[in-house]
Amino acid sequence: MHEEIIHTDNTPKEKQNYVMLKLGRTPAYGWPAFKQVAKRAVSGELLVGLWITLKEMVKTLFMGGKHTTMYPFEKMPIAPRYRAIHNMLRLLESGHYRCIGCGLCEKICISNCIAMETRYDENQRKEVSEYTINFGRCIYCGYCAEVCPELAIVHGGRYETASEQRASFSLFDDMLTPIDMLKQQQEFAGFGSVTPNADAAIKKTPLAY
Amino acid sequence: MGDMMNDNKITLKIDGKTCQAQEGEYILNVARANGIFIPAICYLTRCSPTLACRICLVEADGKRVYSCNTKAKDGMEVTVSNQEILEERRAIMEVYDVNHPLQCGVCDQSGSCELQNYTLELGVDSQSYTIADTARETANWSSVLHYDPALCIVCERCVTVCKDMMGDNALGTTPRGGSELNKELKDSMPKDAYAMWNKLQKSVIAPSNDTGSTNCSDCGECIAVCPTGALVSRDFEYTSNAWELKRTPATCAHCSSGCQIYYETKPTSISDRSEKIYRVTNEWNYVSLCGAGRFGYDFENRTAVKNEEAFGNAIEAFKAAKAIRFNSVITNEEALMLQTLKEELGVKLINPDAKAFQEFLNSYSAASGKTLWNGDYKEMMKNSDFIISVGSALRHDNPNVRYVFNNIQKMNKGAGLYFHPVGDSLIAGLGKNVACIEHKVNREEAVLYWILDRFANKDKLPAEISEYLASFHTKTAKTISETVMEDVKETVVDDESGESKEVVKKIPKTIQKEIEVDSSALLEAFDAPADFEDLVEKFLAKKESFALVVGEDMYFHPQADNLAKLVALIENTTEFKVSIVPPKTNSLGVALICDLDDDASGYTIGYNEAGDFRLSALGDGDLDMPALNQQEGTLTNMHKKVVPTNAALSYGGYELNDIMNALLLGKRLTIDWTKELPSKKGFQAVEFDSLPNRYTNDGVEHRGYMLESQKTKITVSMPDKMTANDMSGDIAYRCNPQRQFNEFTAKAHQIFEPFALYVSPAKAETLGKKAAFDINGKEFVLDVVIDEKMSGEIVKLPDFKHSSEIYAFFGKNRFKPITLRKV
C-alpha cells in the first residue's frame, strides 16, 4: 500500500495538442537584428499607440470620461447594507433619541463591546445616561442593529475609522443624529437593499476596446 | 408533634406519576416537590392561598379544584391539564394581558417576568377581550418602594407576604375605579377567567393605612415576590437588566439568622469596570429577608490595597498585643484564627456580645447536659401553634424570629405570648391570639418560672422546684355571680281543648356563688393582666406544638446564669421546643470556637472595634480587612447550621490569614481553616468547597451542615430562686432600629435609620427633639426619634455605632438607668 502511494504516475495519459508557430528565426545579432529594430521604429506602430493614448486623454480631460474618485474630497456612495460606524437615530416627530435603554444590543454583542448606563429620570422614564461602543473590539457584525426593537441603533456608512483615538466615535452623542440634521436623517432600508444609485453607477469597464 | 406528622404519609397520583406527600399538604406543593409543573401566580409557598389568579386550576378526582388550596388526599388522582382547563388558563392570561403596557423593553423585570412566561407558556397569541383602561399613577410608597400600578396584575402576593410572613401588614387592595365588565361576558367567557377579571378590574394595591406611604419596616420582600415589574426598589429602578447581573450565592452578614442571599453584581459604570453589587435577591418561597439583608449590601472595603508598611506595623502590633477586641461579624474561620492566636501567642480575646452568649450557653449546657438547644425555627414555622418569646425585642433583634412568630399566628392558627418590658404595637397586632405582656425590667425569671408552673410535667419537675412554685400559689375564696338556667314548672291551659298542662320552662337566674380561686404571685411578678389565666386558657385551646424563643435580654442580665438553668429545665420538663437566639451575626460560631476573656488591659488590637491598632473592614483602620461580602468562609447561624458565604466583590488588601502566615501560623487560604473547625463543638471536618448553598423545589435547604449538639456533663442541678433587680428613673434599652445591626449596615447607602434615641410618642413629648447623656465622661447628644410602634417610658439606645462605649455603658445588662438631659 505504502509503496503504491509514493509511485503514483502523474504524467498525462492523452497526447497534448500543442501547435508550433512558424515565426522563423529571431535574429540574434549583427545586421539582421539592426534591420528588425529599424523597421519597427519607423513603421508608425508607435504612433498608433500614442494616438489612442492622446484620444483617451482628451476624452478624459475635456469630455467627462474621467473615472477617478477624488478621495477624500469625493466618496463613492456606500451600500446601505454596509456595516460601518453605528448611527443613533432620533424620533422624527419629537426629535428625542429613539434608544429606550433596553440593553438588548449590549446583551447580544458577541465581542462584548457595548456598554451602557441607565437611570430613572425626572420624567419617570428610563434614561440612557451613558452609552459607548468600543470600536477597538467591534467586529461590525450588525447584531446590535438587528436586535434593536426601536430601530434606534443602525450601521452608518462612516467607514473611515482612522483617528487619534478610537474613542472619538464611541460615545452616544457622537453617533446620534445631530438635532439640526434631523430632516436629513435616513431610515435604514434594511438588509439586502441595493445602493440608491446602483443603476447610474453601472459603467462600461474602461477595458472594453 | 412534628414526629407524629411525619408518619401521616399519603400517596396520590399527579398526571399518572405516583407522589408521596404528607397529609394536609396542598396539591400544588406536592407537585412542585415531585417535579411536576402546575402554573400558579398568586401562591406563595409558606403563606396562605390568595386565590387571586385561579390559574392553578386542576382536576382532582374528576372535580375542578384550585391546587393551591386543596389538600392532597390519599389515593387522589390529579390531572394537571385538560382541554377545558387549558382554555380557562389561556383566557386568564389573555385577561392579564389586557391593557398591560407594552414596555417590556424598559421594565425592570427584564424578562424574568411571570406574566411574560405564562403568556408564552399558554400560547396567548391573540387577544379576545378589551376594556377601557384606567389612568393609574406611579407612586413611591417609602424610601425604598416604587409601585407602578399599570404593570400590576393584582395577584396580591405582596399583600399576602406582608401579612402572612413579615407581619407588617402594610399593604392592601383599594378600589381601582375601573370600568364595569360587560355582563354578557359572564356567559360567553370561561367562568374562572371572568371571576378573576371581575375582581382584578375592581382593585389595585395600596398601603393599607390610607396615607399613601407604607410606614413599614422597609424589608422589600414585596419587591422580591412581585411577578411583574410593578414593585421595584427605588434605588435599583432602571439601572440594570436581570441578565446582566452575576449572581453569587452567599449568606447575609447582618444578623444571626444567616439567610441565604444572592449578591447580584455587574460593573459599576462605563468608566469604572470594577464590580458593584446592584441588588440582593433571595429564594422568596423558602427564605424571607429583612430590610438590612436586602438593602444593606454595599458595605465592602472598597479602597483596600496591599500596604506593606501597614502590614509590617500590624505584625509588630500582633507580636506586642495583650488582647484582641472584636465583634461577631466575622466568619468561623477568622474566629478560629483568633483562637489560634490566643493559644500560640497568649493574647486575650474580648468580644462582649459573644462572651455573654457563651456564658449563657455554658450555664445552659451545665444544666441540660448538651451544648445546643432542641428547637428549630423551620420546624416551628411549619408545626408550632403556640409560641412564647421572652427577652427578645422581636421587632428589632432578629427579623426571622419575628417572621416565625407571625407565621405561626397566620398559618398555623396559632397563639403567641410576647414578654418584654418595652411595649410593641406591631407584635400585639400580629394576630388576635397574641398578647404582649409588658413586665418590669429584669423579671424574666418570673416568666420562666411561670412557664414551668403552667406547662411542666409535674413528675419530671424536681421536688424543690415544685415546692418553690407551690409557694407562689394562694387560694382565696371569692364570691362571684353566676347565671344559671333554672327549671320552673308552670301550668298552662290549652285554649282549644281547655285542658291544663304542666310545662317545664328554663329561666335564667343570677345566683351568688362562693368559689376557691387559685392565684399565683408569679403573675404579679411579671405584671400579667387580670385576665391572664383565662387568656392563656383560651390561647391553648386545641394547641399541640409549643415553642419558646429566648433572646438577648437573657444573656445580658444580672441573673443570666439562673435564666440559662431555667431554660434548660423548661426544655427538659415541658413540651416546649426551645430556641436561643444568638445576639449578633456569628455569635454562636464565636462562642463555640473562641475561648473568650473578660476585659483585659494592655496593648489591644481592635478588629472592627476600638483598639490601639485597628484592623478594619470598614476602611478606617490601620490595616484594611475584607468585609463579609468580599471573603469566603462559613458562618454559624441561629438555625444551628454552618453555612458558607462567598465573595461577591474583589478585595485588594491583606486578610487575617496573611497576618497568620507572617506569624508562621497560617494556612494557604482562609478556607483551608474550614475543615479545622473544632469537632468537639459539633463542627465537621469538611472542605469549604464541598458545602452547598441552595434550595431545591421541595423547599429543602441544602446549605452547609447542621452543628451536632454535644453531650456535656450536668454539673448544676437546680435553678436558684428569683432575685429582684428593679430599676427606677429613665431606663435605656440597648436595641438597634429595625434595619440596623452593626457598622456595616450603617455604611450601606439605603439604610437610613439614624443613630438616635428611639422613644415612644408619649415619651418624645417629655424629651423634645434632642437629648443628651454621658457615657464614661463622654457626652452624647442624640436626636430623639419617635417609634410609633413603641409604648412605655423606656428609651432605646442603639449599639450599631460606638459599640465599645455602648457595651461598656450597659455592661452585663441590656437595660440601664440613664440620665437624659433636654438639649
Q: Domain locations in chain A?
A: 39-68, 85-180
Whether A104 contacts chain B with CB within 8 A: yes
Whether A187 contacts chain B with CB within 8 A: no
Q: Which residues of B touch A100 (CB under 8 A)?
A: 105-106
Distance from C-alpha of A208 to C-alpha of A189, rounded to nearest angstrom: 34
List the grid coordinates of B462. 424536681
Contact A126 B106 (CB under 8 A): yes
Predicted pLDDT of residue B505 = 78
pLDDT in tens, B166-195: 999 999 999 998 889 988 999 999 999 999
Predicted pLDDT of residue B709 = 94
Closest CB to A130 among B110, B234, B269: B269
Q: Which of A108, A117, A119 to mutate to test the interface with B (most CBs of B within 10 A)?
A: A117
Whether pLDDT at A135 is above 90: no
Distance from C-alpha of B44 to C-alpha of B22, rounded to nearest angstrom: 18
User: How far is CA B691 from its chain centroid?
Assistant: 24
Backbone angles phi, psi at A114, to 5 degrees: -100, 135
Predicted pLDDT of residue B698 = 87
Decide which of A193 and B277 is more confident. B277
pTM here is 0.88
Contact A116 B238 (CB under 8 A): no
Kindly state the average pLDDT of the residues B280-301.
Answer: 96
Contact A101 B270 (CB under 8 A): no
Contact A100 B106 (CB under 8 A): yes
Predicted pLDDT of residue A203 = 67
List the grid coordinates of B538. 383560651
Write down the residue that cell numbers 450588525 correspond to.
A142
Backbone angles phi, psi at B423, to 5 degrees: -70, 145
Domains B365-474+527-580 and B731-822 share a fold: no
Share of chain B above pLDDT 70, in %: 98
* Mean pLDDT score of chain B: 93
Distance from C-alpha of B420 to C-alpha of B392, rounded to nearest angstrom: 7
Total Cβ atoms within 10 A of residue B819:
10
Predicted pLDDT of residue B4 = 44
Distance from C-alpha of B807 to C-alpha of B795, rounded to nearest angstrom: 16
Beta carbon pairs, A and B, within 8 Å: 41
Predicted pLDDT of residue B566 = 95
Distance from C-alpha of B249 to C-alpha of B280, rounded to nearest angstrom: 10
Whether A119 contacts chain B with CB within 8 A: yes
Residue of B nearest to A132 (CA): B270
Q: Which residues of A touch B239 (CB under 8 A)?
A: 117-120
Tally DSSP H helices, then E strands, for chain B.
Answer: 25, 39
Contact B239 A120 (CB under 8 A): yes
Whether A66 contacts chain B with CB within 8 A: no
Whether A81 contacts chain B with CB within 8 A: no
CA distance B238 to chain A (A): 5
Distance from C-alpha of A141 to C-alpha of B198, rounded to nearest angstrom: 50
Comparing C-alpha atoms, which of B131, B128, B216, B625 is closest to residue B402? B216
Residue B422 near residue B792 (C-beta atoms within 8 A):
yes
> Residue B279: beta bridge partners?
B264
The pLDDT confidence band at residue A18, using thresholds 50, 70 and 90, is confident
Residue A179 near residue A90 (C-beta atoms within 8 A):
yes
Per-residue HEC secondary structure of A12-80 comes to CCCCCCCCCCCCCCCCCCHHHHHHHHHHHHHCCHHHHHHHHHHHHHHHHHHCCCCCCCCCCCCCCCCCC
Residue of B nearest to A127 (CA): B238
Whether pLDDT at B596 is above 90: yes
- Reported as type and span, the H/E element at residue B546 is strand B546-550
Cβ density class B171-191: b for 16+ within 10 Å, e for less: bbbeebebeebeeebeeebbe
List the grid coordinates of A145. 442593529
Whether A150 contacts chain B with CB within 8 A: yes
User: What residue ranges in B557-624 does DSSP mark as E strands?
Assistant: 577-580, 604-607, 613-616, 623-624
The CB-side HSE value for B416 (13 A sphere, CA atoms) comes to 32
Backbone angles phi, psi at A9, to 5 degrees: -85, 115
The pLDDT confidence band at residue A7, using thresholds 50, 70 and 90, is low
Closest CB to A102 among B105, B237, B270: B105
Q: Which residues of B touch A (CB under 8 A)?
A: 105-106, 110, 138, 234, 237-241, 243-244, 267, 269-270
Kindly state the average pLDDT of the residues A154-180.
Answer: 84
Predicted pLDDT of residue A204 = 63
**In the CATH hierarchy, which top-level class contains the domain A85-180?**
alpha beta
Residue B692 near residue B705 (C-beta atoms within 8 A):
no
The pLDDT confidence band at residue B6, using thresholds 50, 70 and 90, is low
Q: Which of B102, B241, B245, B268 to mutate to test the interface with A (most CBs of A within 10 A)?
A: B241
- Reported as type and span, the H/E element at residue B656 is helix B656-662
Query: Alpha-carbon torsion B706, B712, B717, B718, what sign?
Result: negative
CATH code for the structural domain at B731-822: 2.40.40.20
Distance from C-alpha of B441 to C-alpha of B816, rounded to nearest angstrom: 9
Comparing C-alpha atoms, which of B811, B318, B373 is closest to residue B591? B373
Comparing C-alpha atoms, which of B148, B153, B38 is closest to residue B96? B153
Kindly state the average pLDDT of the residues A190-198.
Answer: 71
Whether pLDDT at B231 is above 60: yes
CA distance B107 to chain A (A): 8
Query: Alpha-carbon torsion B3, B8, B9, B13, what sign?
Result: negative
Kindly state the average pLDDT of the residues B233-251.
Answer: 95
Kindly state the average pLDDT of the residues B440-448.
Answer: 94
Identity at B751, one-letter amino acid code: I
* Mean pLDDT score of chain A: 84
Comparing C-alpha atoms, which of B540, B605, B119, B103 is closest to residue B341? B605
Whether pLDDT at A3 is above 50: no
Closest CB to A124 among B138, B241, B267: B138
Whether A129 contacts chain B with CB within 8 A: no
Cβ density class B436-474: b for 16+ within 10 Å, e for less: bbbbbbbbbbbbbbbbbbebbeeeebeeebeebbeebee
Identity at B732, one-letter amino acid code: A
Query: In a 10 Å sphere around its CB, with 0-12 CB exposed, 13-18 middle and 19+ buried, how is residue A127 labelled?
Result: middle
Question: DSSP string covering B34-50, please?
Answer: TT-----SS--TTS---
Q: What 3-state class would DSSP assign to B573?
A: helix
Closest CB to A132 among B237, B241, B270: B270
Q: Which of B238, B241, B274, B278 to mutate to test the interface with A (most CBs of A within 10 A)?
A: B238
Q: Which of B102, B103, B104, B106 to mutate to test the interface with A (most CBs of A within 10 A)?
A: B106
Distance from C-alpha of A120 to C-alpha of B413, rounded to nearest angstrom: 43
CA distance A120 to chain B (A): 5
Closest CB to B237 among A106, A120, A149: A120
Contact B269 A149 (CB under 8 A): no
Q: Which residues of B touch A102 (CB under 8 A)?
A: 105-106, 241
Contact A117 B270 (CB under 8 A): yes
Whether pLDDT at B263 is above 70: yes
Kindly state the average pLDDT of the residues B92-114.
Answer: 93
Predicted pLDDT of residue A192 = 65
Whether pLDDT at A186 is above 60: yes
The pLDDT confidence band at residue A74, using thresholds 50, 70 and 90, is confident
Contact A101 B238 (CB under 8 A): yes
> Residue A108: beta bridge partners?
none
Closest CB to A130 among B105, B237, B270: B270
Q: Which of B268, B270, B276, B278 to mutate to test the interface with A (most CBs of A within 10 A)?
A: B270
Distance from C-alpha of B283 to C-alpha of A65, rounded to nearest angstrom: 75
Share of chain A above pLDDT 70, in %: 88
Domains in chain B: boundaries: 308-352+586-677, 365-474+527-580, 731-822
**β-pairing, B731-734 with B795-797?**
parallel
Predicted pLDDT of residue A10 = 62
Residue B411 near residue B426 (C-beta atoms within 8 A):
no
Distance from C-alpha of B436 to C-alpha of B457, rounded to nearest angstrom: 25
Whether A99 contacts chain B with CB within 8 A: no
CA distance B205 to chain A (A): 20
Contact A102 B138 (CB under 8 A): no
Identity at A71, one-letter amino acid code: Y
Closest CB to A120 among B238, B241, B267: B238
Q: Which of A118, A120, A123, A128 to mutate to test the interface with B (most CBs of B within 10 A)?
A: A120
The pLDDT confidence band at residue A4, using thresholds 50, 70 and 90, is very low
Kindly state the average pLDDT of the residues B702-731.
Answer: 90
Whether pLDDT at B482 is above 80: no
Comparing C-alpha atoms, which of B284, B323, B88, B318 is closest to residue B196? B88
List CB contacts of B28: < 8 A, sequence separation 6 or more: B38, B40, B43, B56, B67, B68
Which segment of A87-96, B273-282, B479-488, B629-638 scores lowest on mean pLDDT? B479-488
Whether pLDDT at B212 is above 80: yes
Identity at A121, one-letter amino acid code: D
Q: What 3-state class would DSSP assign to B312?
A: helix
Residue of A nearest to B140 (CA): A124
Whether pLDDT at A12 is above 80: no
The pLDDT confidence band at residue B7, using thresholds 50, 70 and 90, is low
Q: Which fold has domain B365-474+527-580?
A: Dimethylsulfoxide Reductase; domain 2 (3.40.228)
List the grid coordinates of B521. 404571685
CA distance A168 to chain B (A): 15
Whether A178 contacts chain B with CB within 8 A: no
B560 in the Ramachandran plot: left (φ > 0), alpha (ψ -120 to 50) or beta?
alpha
Distance from C-alpha of B786 to C-alpha of B769, rounded to nearest angstrom: 10
Q: Which residues of A touch B238 (CB under 8 A)?
A: 101, 118-120, 126-127
Identity at B48, one-letter amino acid code: S
The pLDDT confidence band at residue B2, using thresholds 50, 70 and 90, is very low
Contact B241 A116 (CB under 8 A): no
Decide which of B547 and A29 is more confident. B547
Query: In a 10 Å sphere around its CB, with 0-12 CB exposed, 13-18 middle and 19+ buried, how is residue B5 labelled?
Result: middle
Kindly state the average pLDDT of the residues B432-437.
Answer: 94
